[in-house]
Chain A
Amino acid sequence: MALLEARNLTKYFGGLAAVNRVDITVNAGEIVGLIGPNGAGKTTCFNLLSGFLPPTAGSITFNGEALVGLKPHHIVKRGLVRTFQLTTLFLDMTVLTNVLLGLHLSSQRGFGRVLLSLRSFPREEITRTHEVLEFTGLAPYADELAKNLPHGRQRTLGIAMALAARPLLLLLDEPVTGMNLDESQQVMNLVKTIRDRGTTVLLVEHNMKAVMGTCERIVVLNFGEKLTEGTPSEVGSNRAVIEAYLGSGGEHA
């Protein structure tokens, strides 16, 4: 059953179509990869799905509900949580506080609650935070400031914060870019474990080895349009995909 279904998704920036008539379907329990050369529109797709940008045209259905027009903070509450490229974290806060905020902010029913409950965090939220830290391997760093973590751990922290928000669907924007082989292997194993625990994953990534080894289905974008879609081996042997990445000159081959 389709958990996320984007139909005819289109975004124009001025006259330029950053995303043009793209259909993306993600079924519950899948790990789906979204790949494409630089400027193909992958991150724009993420921004459209998570409500950070309004689409020019097209529809997005998530868990049976239309998402277009909802604000990002409303979309999170429906179970669609994203991470950011690079390290977007609360850098001057501890790892524990970062995850606690991920958990807490997403479970906030609204404005009034925060005003009425000025006490510190409920015990069960702290317990759950420690669980997430344990699960993601960040427990030893709990009291470290986020800005002092090594790069790989910072990326993991971004994922941990999103996980704490209890997503049904997790959108990961370049989770292993800039990591060494070891680190990226760890993160990809984490992604698989996350899926096995019942969270569906859609990820954008440039690291082909990581994408091919983790995703069950891959959607390829090029110049804002969907080039093809299929299993890693289908996509890997597709002529159009190879041309998009290497150019069609032939001398590169």
Chain B
Amino acid sequence: MKSKIGIAVVLLVVVVLALFLPNFGGRYYTQIFVQVLINIMLAASLRPSLLCGQLNIGHSAFMAIGAYASALLAKNLGLPFELSLLFGGALSAAVGLIMGYPSLRLRGVYFAMVTVSFVEVIRLIAQLWVSLTRGMSGLSGIPKPSLLGMVLTTKASQYYLALGLLVIILLILYRLEYSRLGLIWKSIGMADNLSQSLGINVANYKLLAFTLGCFFAGVAGAYYASFFRFLFPPEFSFLLSVNILVYNFVGGRGHFIGPIVGAAFLTLLVEPFRGSAYETIFFSIAMLLTILFLPGGLITLPGKLAGLWSGSTGSAPATSAAT
């Protein structure tokens, strides 16, 4: 009961904060907060794959596909933002489907290796197909986002667009995770041979989780393109994929809010070092500290602190991964 009130209070604070953020601190801060929202989209959309036990380090490739596809459609064909966003996501999902079908048969580290190489392939295509993507000069002049024909010119309005988009994505992902489909994903992650022996077509459900993640990564990429209005191939490197994975681990894999907490926390904390070599060091340290002291991620921190507070040496209340 007490914890339910606590959760409600935290939720309320987060919602109010999210709604009022663009009113503080001006353009620079709005940009950081948008980055937070995008990273949450990316981290949360990786979760279905992780639930199935697939170590996917290729998420940035699908973000790149969505970003370039939607940017080119909007810029060259003048497609409205909503359509180019959906096309970006759909193309990402289609590529994910084609790529996932053979590679999801691989397990563990072998699957991870395929996803890593895929990131490099996509990055090199973006870099070398100069006539289409402008290569290393970067793709610029991408139209601003619009809604029902109305162009959103201010950064604040674009922030609210991202917030709305994020809420929709999270609602869909939440609904799926806490349905039978999510239960099946979790069962595959825990013991895929048992799931199979109970009649589950493991390959299909893994492919669905993977493709769904690709779709939302593509959508996140499409928004990214319209907000920053500049795409540069090295932005979508292997490092970004690792970061998305780290958000999930540091936030905690035991619950839906894990990647949300992880992405928000790390994006804000790493902001002063962004783009420098310290960023990588910082992420590595965050990952190591989590593995050593908080194997369940940041979301288990309140429980651990409460355990310390009441002086009990017993184990902290475990956040149940089930149902």
Partners in one complex: yes
Residues of A within 8 A of B (CB): 50, 52, 71-73, 76-77, 81-84, 88-94, 97, 101-102, 104-108, 111, 114-115, 117-121, 145, 161-162, 165
Given the contacts A118-B175, A121-B180, A165 and B198 also touching, CB distance less than 8 Å: yes
In the complex, how many angstroms separate the beta carbon of A199 from the nearest chain B beta carbon? 16
Most chain B CB within 10 A, of A73, A82, A94, A119, is at A73
B179 is contacted by which of A50, A94, A118 (Cβ under 8 Å)?
A: A118
Residue numbers in B under 8 Å from A101 (CB-CB): 183-184, 187, 195, 198
* Distance, CA A121 to CA B204, complexed state (A): 21
Using Cβ atoms and an 8 Å threshold, which residues of chain B touch A162?
197-198
Q: Indicate which residue in B175, B184, B194, B320 contacts A92 across the interface (CB closer than 8 Å).
A: B320
Docked-complex contact A94 and B323, CB < 8 angstroms: yes
Q: Are B322 and A93 in contact (CB under 8 A)?
A: yes
Within 8 A of A (CB), among B155-207: 175-176, 179-181, 183-184, 186-187, 190-191, 193-202, 204-205
Q: Which B residues are in CB contact (< 8 Å) with A117?
A: 180
Whether A76 and B199, one on each chain, are in contact in the complex, defined by CB atoms closer than 8 angstroms, is yes
16 contacts between A and B (CB under 8 A): A81-B197, A83-B197, A84-B194, A84-B197, A88-B193, A90-B191, A93-B187, A93-B323, A101-B183, A101-B195, A104-B180, A106-B199, A108-B200, A117-B180, A118-B179, A161-B198
Cα–Cα distance between A247 and B172 once the two chains are bound (Å): 63
* Nearest CB of A to B274, in Å: 36
Given contacts A92-B321, A114-B184, A118-B180, contact A52 B193 (CB under 8 A): yes
Closest to B198 in A: A105
Q: How many B residues are at the interface, by size bracket? A: 20 to 34
Contact residues in B for A111 (Cβ distance below 8 Å) = 201, 204-205, 208
- Decide: A106 and B181 in contact? CB cutoff 8 A: no
Give bound CA distance, A111 to B176, whole Å.
14
Known: A89-B191, A161-B198. 20 other contacts (CB 8 A): A52-B197, A72-B196, A72-B197, A73-B199, A76-B197, A81-B197, A88-B191, A90-B191, A90-B322, A92-B186, A92-B321, A101-B183, A101-B187, A101-B195, A105-B199, A114-B184, A120-B180, A145-B320, A161-B194, A162-B198
State how many angstroms separate the Cβ of B121 from the closest Cβ of chain A. Answer: 29
Q: How far is the CA of A120 from the CA of B175 in the complex (A)?
A: 11
B195: which A residues are within 8 A, CB to CB? 101, 105
The contact string, 1 if C-beta is below 8 Å from chain A, for chain B 196-224, is 11111110110010000000000000000
The residue that A76 contacts in the complex, of B193, B198, B202, B204, with Cβ under 8 A, is B198
In the complex, A92→B187 CA distance in Å?
A: 9
Query: Is B197 within 8 A of A50, CB to CB?
Result: yes
Q: Which residue of B lies closest to A83 (CB)?
A: B197
List the A side residues contacting B190 at CB < 8 Å. Answer: 90-93
Q: Quick one: given A88-B193, A97-B323, A106-B198, are A115 and B183 in contact (CB under 8 Å)?
A: no
In the bound complex, what is the Cα–Cα distance between A84 and B192 (angstroms)? 12
Residues of B within 8 A of A82 (CB): 197
List B contacts of A115 (CB < 8 A): 181
How many angstroms between the C-alpha atoms of A118 and B321 in the bound complex? 19
